[in-house]
């Protein structure tokens, strides 16, 4: 029975177009055991019997996905199959324990799709396992990280060298009183922290990404300051004793070194527990109004956490994440700083109209107007005109939306965010002229306890066997 099914399913004479398992594609980082992500993911593209890609959904439950550890009684793995409604699916899975081997099966009515079953030879680590790859170059290779990232080059070129003893004194005395700052040291792959200022709660996002990185890879010894506020801080001109400050938002009037925003970072670390780029069914929140747009009843939409309410004021009406993406045109307007929701808008199938702004996030400089978004003047005087253009040029608008989605897929997923952070710290570390030191008042930032499913790292001996 099984033997005849593929023919049946791929039959050219079928009266209706149905997915053809052997011709469909499966690809993505989730098939590589060495790419450890909080939520691993891969893609499935539905192809019909004639070899044509589906461009709309073949139906919600067409693919059955099973992920398990052969030989284990229980596999602690949570699987999610998301219909992207364009003929492709994203499959995400989160492992709660590490396994020696993992098997991934994707089927259509009992028939394996593409090269399914995929057998991942382990060890396959789960997110909270602390078995860092001791060779950063190997980790970078597995992760397929780029050699360099233009925004990182741009931000660091202003610093010939970084004198750690000097900035350890100067930055706290210059900003420590009025700003919320974190002073971090990573030494021998442990994280140490001292905070300055009153509102330092957001250091949890920075702690989380650093702890996640050191679980995965041996980080260089590095010492740096993170600005926990929304606004970039370094306003001095190049050459005037610039201080290197890592910030979530940059501007072309300041010299801060940008990192992925805490929101994007958090979405990477907590994928499947909340709204993420590939759109889970979670509620999202509306932020404060942007006064200039009140008349048009548009709002700046931030992805607030509940506890942000105290910081930013009460929330406006809550609307469902999916309702939000029903709109064909999406506005990205600066709120307090860069509107942190742009990654989600790009990943959606709406076309984005983006306000010109001096503020940017780590990936904005890779975006091109008319390719990834429709540009709007900073005073928004051309808003109606641009919406009119989009209405009259539906095909072009659609193409822009597709390019944006492709951009988000290839640049803003978990693996890309981990690459960005690692390369940023690696490049910065190479500018340090003295040894990072665990300074007075610093405390170690401990890994969360994961006693339920501890993992065993291979011994040096086992490693040398694995590596040949
Ligand atoms: C079909 O989809 C796959 C996966 O996205 C892609 O690589 C391929 O180029 C597509 N084929 C066509 C003809 O568009
Ligand atoms: C900064 O960005 C704004 C908005 O894009 C632009 O008008 C301005 O010319 C830029 N300034 C510099 C110095 O690049």
Same domain, yes or no, for 107 and 214? no
The reply to whether 142 falls in a domain is no
Q: What does DSSP say about strands 374-376 and 351-355: parallel, antiparallel, or unpaired? A: parallel
Indicate the SS3 state at residue 138. Answer: helix
Token reading at 363: 């990936």
Give nearest CA residue, ligand 1 atom 8: 53
User: Is residue 193 a contact partner of residue 215, using CB atoms and an 8 Å limit?
Assistant: no
Integer angstrom CA distances of residue 451 from 96, 440, 448: 11, 31, 9
Rounded (5°) CA angle 459-214-124: 55
**How far apart are the CA of 54 and the centre of ligand 1, in A?**
9
**Which atom of ligand 1 is the closest one to the Cα of 47?**
1
User: Is residue 51 a contact partner of residue 81, using CB atoms and an 8 Å limit?
Assistant: no
Q: Which ligand is nearest to the CA of 377?
A: 2
Same domain, yes or no, for 14 and 119? yes
Same domain, yes or no, for 72 and 61? yes
Structural domain of residue 154, as residue ranges?
A: 150-263+415-449
Euclidean distance between the first and the last CA atom of the chain, given in angstroms as a whole number: 43
Give me the DSSP letters along 384-398.
HHHHHHHHH-HHHHH
Mutation test of ligand 2: which of 237, 355, 358, 377 has the most ligand atoms closer than 8 Å to its C-beta? 358
Ligand 2 lined by 379 (C-beta under 6 Å): no
Same domain, yes or no, for 283 and 405? yes
User: Is residue 36 a contact partner of residue 136, using CB atoms and an 8 Å limit?
Assistant: no
The reply to whether 212 falls in a domain is yes
For the chain, 468 residues long, the average pLDDT of each consecutive 10-residue run is: 49 67 96 96 95 91 95 89 90 93 96 97 92 96 97 96 97 91 97 93 93 97 95 90 95 96 88 48 29 32 35 44 62 67 85 92 96 94 92 93 93 96 98 97 91 82 75
Structural domain count, the chain: 3
pLDDT given for residue 468 in this prediction: 65
The reply to whether 78 falls in a domain is yes
Ligand 2 lined by 22 (C-beta under 6 Å): no
Stated as kind and residue range, the H or E segment containing 311 is helix 308-312
**Which atom of ligand 1 is the closest one to the Cα of 88?**
5
pLDDT given for residue 20 in this prediction: 93
Same domain, yes or no, for 27 and 67? yes
Ligand 1 lined by 350 (C-beta under 6 Å): no
Q: What is the CATH number of the domain that holds 374?
A: 3.40.50
Ligand 1 lined by 46 (C-beta under 6 Å): no
Q: Is 456 left (phi over 0), alpha (psi -120 to 50) or beta?
A: beta
pLDDT given for residue 450 in this prediction: 64
Strands (E), 77-117: 77-83, 88-95, 99-108, 111-112
**Which atom of ligand 1 is the closest one to the Cα of 51?**
13
Q: Is the peptide bond before 215 cis (omega within 30 degrees of 0)?
A: no
Report d(CA 271, CA 39) in Å as an integer.
6
Q: How many helices (H) and strands (E) does the chain have?
A: 13, 21
The reply to whether 460 falls in a domain is no
Report d(CA 156, CA 147) in Å as an integer.
15
Q: Which ligand is nearest to the CA of 51?
A: 1
**How far apart are the CA of 1 and the centre of ligand 1, in A?**
30
User: Is residue 417 a contact partner of residue 274, using CB atoms and an 8 Å limit?
Assistant: no
Same domain, yes or no, for 422 and 403? no
The reply to whether 86 falls in a domain is yes
The reply to whether 117 falls in a domain is yes
Same domain, yes or no, for 325 and 391? yes
The reply to whether 464 falls in a domain is no
Residue ending a domain, among 129, 164, 193, is 129
Same domain, yes or no, for 9 and 97? yes
Residue ending a domain, among 60, 94, 129, is 129
Report d(CA 395, CA 389) in Å as an integer.
11
pLDDT given for residue 155 in this prediction: 97
The reply to whether 270 falls in a domain is no
User: Is residue 6 a contact partner of residue 111, using CB atoms and an 8 Å limit?
Assistant: yes
Same domain, yes or no, for 311 and 379? yes
Token reading at 205: 């996002």
Give me the DSSP letters along 322-368.
HHHTT-SEEEE--SSSS-TTHHHHHHSSSEEEEE--SEE-TTGGG--
Burial of 150 (0-12, 13-18, 19+ CB in 10 A): exposed
Same domain, yes or no, for 197 and 111? no
What's this model's pTM, rounded to 2 decimal places? 0.87
Report d(CA 463, CA 416) in Å as an integer.
27
**How far apart are the CA of 399 and the centre of ligand 1, in A?**
16
Same domain, yes or no, for 228 and 156? yes
Rounded (5°) CA angle 411-414-419: 70
Q: Is the peptide bond before 123 cis (omega within 30 degrees of 0)?
A: yes
Ligand 2 lined by 358 (C-beta under 6 Å): yes
Report d(CA 288, CA 198) in Å as an integer.
23
Cα 87–chain centre separation: 23
- DSSP category for residue 217: B
Q: What does DSSP say about strands 329-332 and 351-355: parallel, antiparallel, or unpaired? A: parallel
Q: What is the CATH number of the domain that holds 58?
A: 2.60.40.10
Mutation test of ligand 1: which of 25, 27, 409 has the most ligand atoms closer than 8 Å to its C-beta? 25
CA-closest candidate to residue 245, choices 194, 192, 183: 183
Give nearest CA residue, ligand 2 atom 14: 252
Give nearest CA residue, ligand 1 atom 1: 53
Integer angstrom CA distances of residue 19 from 23, 63, 116, 117, 336: 8, 10, 15, 18, 47
Same domain, yes or no, for 408 and 316? yes
């Amino acid at each position: 029975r099984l033997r005849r099914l593929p023919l049946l399913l791929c039959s050219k004479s079928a009266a209706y177009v149905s997915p053809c398992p052997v011709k469909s594609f499966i690809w993505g980082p989730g098939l590589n055991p060495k790419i450890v992500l909080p939520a691993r993911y891969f893609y499935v593209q539905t192809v019909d019997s004639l070899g044509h890609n589906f461009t709309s959904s073949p139906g919600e439950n067409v693919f059955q996905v099973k992920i398990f550890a052969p030989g284990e009684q229980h596999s602690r793995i949570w699987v999610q199959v998301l219909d992207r409604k364009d003929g492709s699916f994203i499959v995400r899975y989160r492992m709660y324990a590490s396994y020696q081997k993992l098997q991934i099966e994707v089927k259509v009515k009992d028939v394996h799709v593409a090269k399914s079953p995929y057998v991942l030879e382990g060890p396959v680590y789960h997110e909270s396992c602390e078995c860092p790859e001791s060779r950063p170059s190997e980790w970078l290779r597995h992760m397929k990280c780029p050699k360099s990232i233009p925004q990182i080059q741009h931000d660091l070129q202003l610093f010939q060298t970084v004198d750690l003893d000097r900035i350890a004194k100067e930055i706290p005395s210059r900003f420590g009183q009025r700003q919320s700052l974190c002073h971090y040291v990573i030494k021998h792959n442990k994280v140490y922290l001292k905070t300055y200022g009153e509102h330092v709660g957001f250091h949890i996002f920075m702690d989380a990404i650093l702890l996640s990185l050191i679980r995965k890879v041996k980080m260089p010894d590095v010492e740096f300051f993170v600005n926990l506020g929304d606004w970039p801080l370094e306003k001095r001109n190049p050459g005037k004793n610039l201080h290197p400050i890592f910030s979530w938002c940059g501007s072309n009037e300041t010299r801060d070194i940008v990192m992925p925003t805490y929101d994007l970072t958090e979405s990477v670390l907590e994928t499947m527990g909340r709204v993420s780029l590939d759109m889970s069914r979670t509620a999202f929140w509306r932020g404060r109004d942007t006064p200039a747009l009140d008349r048009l009843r548009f709002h700046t939409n931030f992805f607030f956490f509940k506890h942000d309410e105290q910081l930013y004021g009460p929330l406006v009406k809550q609307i469902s994440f999916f309702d939000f993406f029903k709109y064909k045109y999406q506005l990205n307007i600066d709120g307090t700083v860069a509107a942190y929701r742009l990654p989600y808008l790009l990943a959606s199938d709406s076309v984005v109209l983006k306000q010109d702004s001096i503020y940017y996030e780590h990936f904005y400089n890779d975006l091109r107007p008319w390719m990834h978004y429709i540009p709007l003047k900073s005073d928004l005087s051309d808003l109606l005109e641009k919406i009119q253009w989009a209405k009259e040029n539906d095909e072009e608008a659609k193409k822009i939306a597709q390019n944006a989605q492709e951009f988000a897929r290839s640049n803003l997923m978990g693996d890309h965010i981990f690459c960005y952070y690692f390369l940023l710290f690696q490049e910065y570390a190479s500018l340090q002229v003295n040894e990072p030191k665990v300074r007075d008042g610093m405390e170690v930032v401990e890994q969360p306890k994961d006693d339920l499913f501890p993992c065993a790292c291979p011994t040096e001996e086992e490693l040398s066997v694995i590596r040949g």
